[in-house]
Structure 1
């Protein structure tokens, strides 16, 4: 080989390394933009939606209206009624964000910034844990695997208490993982993370997650020698010290302010709902069905975690070499204890919630998915499975994206009747979509990200490509079609019409058979805190609103005393209809004016 050929060979090698680095950076930035786009889509540009967002915003609104000095921070209220199902951490933060951004954002969108803040904490902490366990290149894949899990997709954009609970759970798990990963590091750091995370989860939703974390620590003491050391005792001490302010300050102030409400929250809404001695609608009856649902909602994070565990077991069974099994798939042997702790947490959580709890909703499973994402992210799919999965994903989500754009065109042209009649059960097909350049550009940007994901699908892999497809569909539904969904799920149009029908002057608005979500939206949209009543004859109010859902009868209603002035509801919802009444004397005065 001549001397002139040597530099050429070196240049080719250098060019190859440069291309590889460029590809890595391209994949990194594409993944990052997919995560950002997914988290922003569905948070802004809409009103609070049932079932849980309206009453959450109603509590934040009550806190907000007392800022900066006169607010009662202790007892949450929806309208004029205390609402003590959950601690107020989410509602505090939502009120603060709404207050700080009220000069340039609508109140409900300012409150939604709390969701972004708590989810940013969740994803940053999760990415740090993935780097501890497997290396820096697993940071974004872990986030995408969590966000792309079926049980997570719908809930992490909502203004609900489960979002800060998720952030607290991830922080607490980070404390446990740091304790077993960094054997030489002081355990007080891990203890502060564990205790603060447990405290945040407690102040968000109650005792479930702190209880599961306590059981996880107890089981770890029994089965893992690393937790039977002086260092583990120091971890527990610092965790208790960090958790105490969260566990004591607000509950004590709440107990001093309203002891009966404190007992209702602590005993009925925590232990009563869990053990079943407090009456709740829709109690569990089919445990096998619930377990099947939990397995389905854990796809793909939980399924990959189980598959990865079986792969390790097969390596160990085939070779008898535990060390080889530990490093299978590129995972370092020092993460053995951390993975064991995550499995203990996940199994304990499922056992407590699925087999012991008397009530179960899909959102209750949210705190288990970060552990499953960390356990499943390190797996390498078989080449053939990865290729088939990618092909199916590209075809399926491309078809969904095209179909959503066609729906956008049909609604924009006022031809909603061209869509399947099944949609009329939830959405108004006679709705004419207003043109919005902003939403159009957002939808085109999401489509562009999907095209990039298709181009880079081999480097992304099946899991990340699936997340890109979820981002496309979720994003298009919550950008170009968002006004349609908002019209069907928001109470703005209905309650603004009610406000026009009511007189300018009336003392108060009584409500019958109207839930906390509707009362919260009445407070927001018409500026009146409604008063619940069981009989209109007993109410001192001059105006009344009833909800006819499920054909409820109006106790104490007398046509001679009341005159109907309005009836209506949300577009596309024929089951939920409201009727408004005025007392006859006020109605006469209104007509005379």
Structure 2
């Protein structure tokens, strides 16, 4: 017997969020961070480097390389998308912007998939609100739309989405395809072709984006949920098993393709049994998924009677729970914990949305006040620091920036300033609307969290963008190196540079870089001092003389050495200079 639902919602509470307003809100969150900035370190610039190598014909499409190095993540599709976009874009579009265009669409598609996945879950009879004795309860379709609106707002509000969701990395592609599979798992009981196609493409996309094991686990897990109970009232056991069999076939086919392309890699990295590391993971879970996780916990508590009910009752909860659990386990067992946890956000947002019809007025008011104080404070700090950089008043923020990022010169942009002012005024208007007298739409409690998150990100990407480009990119370090080289240095050897550093030099300079070898005839060499310290007894260093040690102004651990070749005798393979021989004797 199904347990009664805890949702008590009238028709007035499921007022639809205007589609145009929702679309503009999503665009206002997506576009900042993709437009106007340079590639940041380290995964963002690294992925761009592989895309550029493919687009320029410097690497094989089935085996992307950068400076002779293969990617750390065995992904193909994300690099293909960026490279194709760079090749198809007109000449007046900057290469880094062209590479970001498909990733803008991936983030938007993640939001669309989250909306439709939550909508179909909310159509489940066990997720519907209680029927009133004399009518007036929410219409099932309107209720599902309101819950889906809340899920998108919760998705945007998650703090961890801001940076990782705006980078051109395989992680964003994995987020998109996991969201699409989440939609497929929720919608297959109601539709066949569109969710079926989405499921197949999502599993294929996950495998080609470097997550074949995740695709296999999600595919097998969703098929198992289908075998346990149907997700819709009119789904017979035969239709349910047929859909489960379809998911199994697609999962096995995807696993076979990943095997043929050699995409399987063992990346298990268990956390160490240290209190410091567990504290770090705890903080990651706490802030990365804020504010969705408290609402998700509230959902699990208020809907606890539906969890173990027979047949259909708890499936609108078990599907997102399964997705969150898989992503959480991946977070605890891989080194890229934040990028693994990113994949939990669509399902976690859906769980958070199911808390909305059960929240009391006091809880909703608490969420509004905490959100208002937190994000208004963030916006104020951003404005104060920007004003200090412009005018020197107050003096301390500008002094702190000068200490942390020496050499940074701030500039004024009318466009950025006007956009930031418009966003701040929109925030004031949103707060005014929220505290006014309006119909009690169930998604209202997530308007301020989503709006505050979008506001903070937009202000960072306008007012602070020059500072962030200076501190978060390799451009200042590359500029130092090129300024210490002659106008025409010829070929330049590189030794020990990371993937991100190689990509940065290829993007920010016109240097002709070659990987150092014993018979290299280049006059200049750039070495990573953190990995290749210069000493007299190292074989590679005997033919080179250190000219300059260079460090990133805002990131002191990035240290490079600029070397110049010694006379011809020292460059001849197998010949050791006399002074070196005497020292070694």
User: RCO (CA 8 Å, sep 6+): is it higher in 1 or 2?
Assistant: 2
Q: Mark the CA change 1:46 to 1:73 in structure 2 (over 3 Å): closer, same or farther.
A: same
> How far does the alpha carbon of each residue in 1:427-456 deviate from its partner, in whole angstroms, 9 at most, with x for none?
416533111112112211211221121111
Alignment partner, residue 168 of structure 1: 177
Matched, 1:568 2:550: yes
Alignment partner, residue 282 of structure 2: 292
For 2:222 and 2:413, the matched residues in 1 are separated by 52
TM-score (norm 1): 0.78
Matched, 1:178 2:187: yes
RMSD over equivalenced CA pairs, Å: 3.6
Matched, 1:526 2:509: yes
Map 1:179-578 onto structure 2 (within 5 A): 179-180=188-189, 182=190, 185=191, 187-217=192-222, 219-220=224-225, 223-224=228-229, 229-239=237-247, 252=260, 254=261, 262=262, 266=264, 270-271=265-266, 273-274=267-268, 288-289=278-279, 292-293=282-283, 295-296=285-286, 297-313=288-304, 336-351=314-329, 353-354=331-332, 357=333, 359-380=335-356, 381-413=359-391, 418-419=396-397, 427-428=404-405, 431-458=408-435, 461-505=444-488, 508-528=491-511, 530-533=513-516, 539-549=520-530, 552-554=533-535, 556=538, 561-578=543-560
> How far does the alpha carbon of each residue in 1:492-516 deviate from its partner, in whole angstroms, 9 at most, with x for none?
2332342343345555322233211
Alignment partner, residue 7 of structure 1: none
Q: Mark the CA change 1:520 to 1:228 in structure 2 (over 3 Å): closer, same or farther.
A: farther
> Any idea what SS the aligned residue of 1:75 has?
coil
Map 1:19-30 onto structure 2 (within 5 A): 29-30=20-21
Alignment partner, residue 137 of structure 1: 146
Tell me if structure 2 keeps the 8 A contact 1:513–1:552. no
Tell me if structure 2 keeps the 8 A contact 1:274–1:358. yes
For 1:337 and 1:25, the matched residues in 2 are separated by 25
Residues 368-377 or 408-417, more deviating: 408-417
Q: 1:582 aligns with which of 554, 564, 575?
A: 564
Tell me if structure 1 keeps the 8 A contact 2:367–2:445. yes
> Any idea what SS the aligned residue of 1:582 has?
strand
For 2:89 and 2:155, the matched residues in 1 are separated by 29
> How far does the alpha carbon of each residue in 1:379-421 deviate from its partner, in whole angstroms, 9 at most, with x for none?
2322112223212322332232222122112212367962186
TM-score (norm 2): 0.79
Residues 208-217 or 118-127, more deviating: 208-217
| Structure with more of its chain in helix, by fraction | 1
For 2:417 and 2:330, the matched residues in 1 are separated by 45
For 1:306 and 1:503, the matched residues in 2 are separated by 61
Q: Mark the CA change 1:275 to 1:565 in structure 2 (over 3 Å): closer, same or farther.
A: closer
State the 1:541 CA deviation. Answer: 3.0
> Any idea what SS the aligned residue of 1:546 has?
strand
Q: 2:165 aligns with which of 153, 156, 175?
A: 156
> Any idea what SS the aligned residue of 2:497 has?
coil
Residues 144-153 or 284-293, more deviating: 284-293
